[in-house]
Chains A and B, each alone.
Chain A
Amino acid sequence: MAMAGALAAMTAKIYTFKGGISIGKDMRTAPPAGITDQPLAEHLAVPLLEYWGSYSIPLVSAGDHVSRGQLIAQHSHPLGVPKCAPTSGRITGISDHHLAHPSGLKGSCITIAADGKDSRISNTPVDDYRTLDTEQTLRKIREGGITGMGGGGYPAHAKLEAAIETGTSLLIINALECEPLISCDEALIDSCPDEIIKGVNILHRLLAPSRCVIAIKDGMMQANRLLTQAASRYADQSIEIITLPDVYPIGSEKLLIYCLTGIRLDASTIPATRGIVCQNVASVKAIFDCVVLGQPVTSRVITVAGENISAPLNLRTRIGTPIQSLLANCAERTERGRRLSLGGPLNGYPLPHADAPVDAHHNCILSNPIEASEVAPCIKCGYCAEVCPTELLPQRLLWHAHARQLDQLIKLNIAECIECGACDTVCPSKLPLTATFRYARDRIRLDNRQHARASEMQARFNKHQQRLLAQEASRQQKLREKSLKQNKKGAAEIIQAALKRAREAKSQGGKK
C-alpha cells in the first residue's frame, strides 16, 4: 500500500500556475517548536455565528451547568453544525460580543464561566471506524461540529455529502499552509501524524476516491517523514504524499486542484460537486477525534506571530477564548502600537477588537506595529498582474473599482479573485489592492441581492396587477350577465311602471 502510494507520488504530474510569489528560504521563518497549551480562560464566549450569517439556536440558558463537549446550540441553517461547550462550567448568559470580523460588529455568543475542572461529557468512542456505516459516520462528523479549519469554515459533512452523491475522483488533504509565518498545521502533523492518517482512512472509506493525496510544501521535511512512516503503518489504502513548491498561494483550494490535476474550476463551481474533495489537515484530525474518540471540536491550534511578538507560538486553545489572552501569553510588545490581523500576513483580515473570541476556523493571529501609510498613485507598472495566480489584471480592476464601474469589473472576472494578497505585496505604490477588491466584490454581491429582490417585487407587482385586472374583468362579466337576465325578463314592464310613477307624480304636483 505504502509502496504504491510512494510510487504514484513520485510519478505524479504537477502543473505549475503562472504568477504567485516564491516564498524564499529567507522569508520562511523558523516555526516555533511544538504546540504550547494555552491555559484555560476564566470566561469563554462561544460564537453562534454560522457560515451563512445566520445564528445557531441556543439549547441552554443562564445558570445551566455544562460539561466539555456537551451540545449547547443547534444549527439554524439546514446545512449547519451544532456548537459544543469547550470546557465545563456554568452558562452565564447569551449576549452580544465583539466577533473576530473586520466589521467590528457584535454577535450573539454563549458565555461560559469555566469551573476549572474541565470535565468531559461521556462520549461514544469506537474501536474500529469500519463498524460505522456512511450515515452514522456523517452524523458523527456533523455532531462533532467539524468545519473547515484552514480558514474556510464550511461544514465538513455538507461537503462530504455532496461528494458522496456525485462520486469522488480525488481526495486532497491540504497540509500546504502556504502562507509565511503560519505553522499550526505543520506543528499538528509533527505531533500527531498517526491520527491524521487514521482520519484519512475514515474519509477514504466514506468517499472511495480513485486517488488520495496529502499535499505538503517544500521544506516540511519532518512532516513528510512522519506522515510517510504513519502511512506505512496505518493507512488502509494507498496515499500519495506529494511535495509541492513553496509558491504562495499554492494552498488555495482551486489552485491546488489545478496543480494536481490540470483542471481549472471557476469561482462559482464547488469542487465537491465535480468529484474533488479538499480538506484541511486539521479538519481531518478533528474528524478522527470525533468519529473514533467521540470527542467533538472544542479546541484548535493557532499560530500567534507578527513583528510585535518576539517569540511566536503555536497555541492549542479552546474555542471561545478571548484573543487578548492568547496575545498576553506571547509576550507581545505594544510600544509601537498594535495592529491586529486574523489570518496570515498576505491573506489576513484586520481585527478591530482583541476581546473577540476564537472560533474553529481561525488559524493565525498577527500583531504588528502601526506604520504610517505611504500609499502613492498607481504607476501602471504591471507587477501585480505578473503575480496574480488567477491571471487577473489588478491594475485595471483598481481603475474600474475607483470609478465604481461594477459591470466592467464583472467583465474583467473579479469573481475569480481569491483575495490572496499577492498583488499587495509587490505593489511599489503600496496600494490596498486586495481591500479594494474585497469591497468591490461585496458591492457586487449586494447589488445582485438588491437586483434579485427588485425583480422579485416587480414580478409580484405584475401578478398583482394581473389579478386586479382579472377581478375587474370578472366583475364586468357578472354585471353584463345580470343585465342580460333582467333584459330577458321584461324591459317593457319596467318602463310601464316607471311611466306610471311619473304620471302619478305629475298629477299630484298639478293638484298642488
Chain B
Amino acid sequence: MSSRYIMVSVILAACPGGLVMAWFFGSGIIINLLAAMALCMVFEASILQLRKKPVSTTLLDGSAMVTGLLLGLSMPPLLPWWMLVIACFFAIVIAKQLFGGIGQNLFNPAMVGYAILLISFPLAMSTWPQPRLDETLPPDFYSTLLIKLSLHNIPDGFTMATPLDLFKHRPGLTAAEIWQQSSAFGLLSGRGWEWINAAFLLGGSWLVYRKIARWQAVISFMASLGIMAALFYDNGSSASHGSVFLHWFGGATMLGAFFILTDPATAPDTGKGLFWYGMGAGILVYILRVWGAYPDGIAFAILLMNMATPVINQLTLSGIDHTNTQAQS
C-alpha cells in the first residue's frame, strides 16, 4: 500500500458525502472542491520549487489534493473565490510546507485554512444557502458562479441559517417545538445535513474497514460527543443543548470524525494515544458548539487537539514494559 493509494482511497471515500452535499446545496460545492484542489496543488508546486524539492513526485503523493478536498467540503457554496485562495494559501504554504512538508505538520492544514477564514470572515463563512427541501431549491449554477466571482451580491431570501445555528438560537422553544415549527429539521438532525453526514459515515466506515483510517480516534470521538450530548440533553427542554443524534448527524461531525481526525500526521502514534485524542476532540466539539460563539466547533476542537498530540505521544508509549533502559548492543 503506497501513500498515493491511501490518498486516492480517502478521496473516493469522500465522494458520496461530497455528491450528497452538492445535491442539497448546489453546484457551489463542486466549484469549491475543484477550485480548492487546484489551488492547493498550485501552491504546493510553487513552494516545492522554492524549497528545491522534487515537484512531480511529491505532488503525486496526493496529499495536497486531499487538503483541497477537505477545504472544499468545509466551505459554504457561495464563498467568494478570493477567500478560497486565502484558505488554500494558509493551509498549504503556512500550515504544511513551512512546518516541513508532508508528515511534519503540527496542525491539520485544511482546518487551519478553515479556521483563519472563519475568524476573519465570520459572516461569509456562516452564509449557507437554502438547501434542496420540498419548497426550496439551492442556487443554480449561473447565480452561484456570479456570486462567487463577486460579480453579484447574494440576494435576500437566498440564505438560511444552518440547523445547528437555528437550534442553538431558538427562542425559548423545546426541542419538539422547534422540530415542528422549522422546516430545517428532519428525521434525526437538520434536513439535508443528516443525509450528508450519513454519506460521510458510509465512506468513512469503508476507510476504517480498509484499515486506512485508524478506528480508535473515531470511536472515542463519537462516543464522547454522544455521552456529552446525552448528559446535557435535559429531556429536550427549552434549555436543552441538543440530542445525541442532532450532534452526530448535524454539522461536520462525520466529516471531522472519519476524514480530519484520522489524519495520521497530526494525530498520535499509538492506539492509546488516539483514544485520548478522540475523546478530547469529542468533548471540545460539544463545549464549543454549546457554549462557544460559533455554531460548529469541529475545526477549533481538532486544532486544539492537534496541539495536544505531542504531549499525548510522550505520555502514551508502548504496551510492553521495557524495563531495561541500559544501552545494549
Contact = CB atoms under 8 A, between A and B. Distances in A.
Interface of A: 18, 264, 266-269, 374, 376-383, 385, 390-393, 395-396, 410-413, 415-416, 426, 428-430, 441, 444-445, 447-448
Contacts of B63: 379
B214 interface: yes
A392 B269 contact: no
A432 to B, nearest CB: 15
B2 A428 contact: yes
A396 to B, nearest CB: 6
Interface in B138-173: none
Given A380-B265, A441-B329, A266 B322 contact: yes
Nearest to B323: A266
Contacts of A416: 320, 322
Given A379-B265, A416-B320, 14 more contacts: A376-B61, A379-B6, A380-B264, A380-B265, A380-B267, A385-B269, A385-B270, A410-B327, A413-B318, A413-B322, A428-B1, A430-B2, A445-B329, A447-B327
B187 interface: no
A300 to B, nearest CB: 26
Given A379-B63, A393-B269, A18 B319 contact: yes
A461 to B, nearest CB: 24
A18 B328 CA distance: 23
A273 to B, nearest CB: 14
Contacts of B323: 266
Interface in B1-27: 1-3, 5-6
Nearest to A378: B103
Contacts of B322: 266, 390, 413, 416
A264 B3 CA distance: 34
Contact of B327 (A381, A429, A430, A444): A444
Task: List the 3 closest pairs (A to B, CB-CB), nearest first.
Answer: A391-B318, A413-B322, A415-B328
A267 B3 contact: no
Contacts of B313: 396
Interface in B51-83: 57, 61, 63
Contacts of B320: 264, 390-391, 416
A381 B324 contact: no
A18 B320 CA distance: 10
Nearest to B329: A445
Contact of A268 (B1, B102, B104, B326): B326
B3 A379 contact: yes
B317 interface: yes
B101 interface: yes
A429 B5 CA distance: 11
Given A377-B101, A379-B63, A393 B3 contact: no
A390 B319 CA distance: 9
17 contacts: A376-B2, A376-B3, A379-B61, A379-B102, A379-B103, A380-B265, A382-B270, A393-B317, A410-B325, A413-B318, A415-B326, A415-B327, A416-B320, A416-B322, A429-B2, A441-B329, A447-B327
Nearest to A385: B269
A390 B102 CA distance: 27
Contacts of B2: 374, 376, 428-430
Contact of A379 (B214, B264, B270, B325): B264
Contacts of A378: 103
Nearest to A384: B269
Contacts of B328: 267-268, 415
Contacts of A395: 269
Contact of A415 (B57, B61, B267, B324): B324
A426 B103 CA distance: 17
Contacts of B325: 410-411, 413
A448 B328 CA distance: 9
A382 B214 contact: yes
A422 to B, nearest CB: 14
Contacts of B6: 379, 381, 428
Contacts of A379: 3, 6, 61, 63, 102-103, 264-265
A379 B263 CA distance: 9
A110 B225 CA distance: 73
B102 A266 contact: no
Nearest to A392: B318
Contacts of B104: 377
A52 to B, nearest CB: 11
B214 A377 contact: no
Interface in B292-329: 313, 317-320, 322-329
A382 B264 contact: yes
Contact of A448 (B3, B102, B327): B327
Which of B2, B61, B320 is packed against the most chain A CB atoms within 10 Å?
Answer: B320
Contact of B324 (A267, A392, A412, A428): A267
Contacts of B265: 379-380
A394 B311 CA distance: 18
Contacts of B318: 391-393, 413
Given A266-B324, A377-B101, A428-B1, A391 B269 contact: no
A445 B320 CA distance: 23
Nearest to B322: A413
A381 B270 CA distance: 10
Given A379-B103, A380-B264, A429 B3 contact: yes
Contacts of A268: 324, 326, 328
A395 B2 CA distance: 16
A426 B2 CA distance: 9
A111 B28 CA distance: 79
Contacts of A428: 1-3, 5-6
A120 B6 CA distance: 61
A21 to B, nearest CB: 13
Nearest to A416: B322
A393 B270 contact: yes
B250 to A, nearest CB: 30
B271 to A, nearest CB: 8
B280 to A, nearest CB: 18
B10 to A, nearest CB: 12
Nearest to A388: B318
Which of A380, A391, A392 is packed against the most chain B CB atoms within 10 Å?
Answer: A380
A380 B266 CA distance: 8
Nearest to B274: A382
A484 to B, nearest CB: 56
Contacts of B270: 382, 385, 393
Contacts of B61: 376, 379
Nearest to A409: B327
Which of B267, B313, B322 is packed against the most chain A CB atoms within 10 Å?
Answer: B322
Contacts of B326: 268, 415
A89 to B, nearest CB: 38
B221 to A, nearest CB: 17
Contacts of B317: 393, 412
B224 to A, nearest CB: 21
Contacts of A264: 320
A396 B316 CA distance: 12
A428 B264 CA distance: 12
A440 to B, nearest CB: 11
A393 B324 CA distance: 16
A381 B2 CA distance: 11
A18 B214 CA distance: 16
A392 B320 CA distance: 9
A150 to B, nearest CB: 19
A463 B270 CA distance: 50
Which of A378, A395, A428, A447 is packed against the most chain B CB atoms within 10 Å?
Answer: A428
